[in-house]
A and B are shown apart, each in its own frame.
Chain A
C-alpha cells in the first residue's frame, strides 16, 4: 500500500524558513516523479513544485520560485520542500503527492498533509 507521510509543518514568522519532509513507503520511491501541492484554509488546491525521479530536474510555480526548493533523498525514500522567505500568503496545508514514472501524469497518491502557518 502506498503511504506518504508529511512532517515539518508549524507556526513560523514572516520571513522565516521551514523544511517539510514527506516519507514514502509501499512503492519504489526512486522510480516516480513527486509533487508538492498546497491548500490555503477554506480554499482550493494549488500546485507548488515537482521533481524528477532521480532528482535531476525540478519545476516550481512562479509564486514560490526563488524561495522554495524541492529535493529528494532516494536512499531515505524522502521528499523535501525547503521554504525560505515565508509570507503570510504561504499559509496552507502542504500535501506531497506521487505522480507517475513519466513527467506528464496524474497525482495518483497523496499524503495527509502538514499545516504551515505564517504569522507574526
Chain B
C-alpha cells in the first residue's frame, strides 16, 4: 500500500506571496492532519480534516487554511507569507475511527518551504 505523499517536496517563495501544499493520504484513510516543524518551535499541530470538514485546529493565525476533497486528498494554503513561515510542513493520515488504534497517524515526507 502506498504511503502518504506530499507535493511539492521543496518550495521557495518570497514574503507576501501565498503557497498551496498538497497531501494524498494512504488509501482508505479519511483523516488528514497537518503539522509545522521548525528548529525553534518543534512540531506543532496545524489542523485536521475529516470528511471534507475541519475537525481540529491548532493555534495558528488565519493565514493558514486548508481543505479536504471527497477523495480525502488535502491541501493547505498559507497566504501573505512571512519569513517565519519557513518550515517543514508535514502531513499525516489516519483511518480516524476515533479510537486509538484507528487514529494512529502515518506521516508523509514533508514539504520544505523557504520564504525569502
Are A and B subunits of one complex?
A: no
Residues of B whose CB lies within 8 Å of any CB of A are none
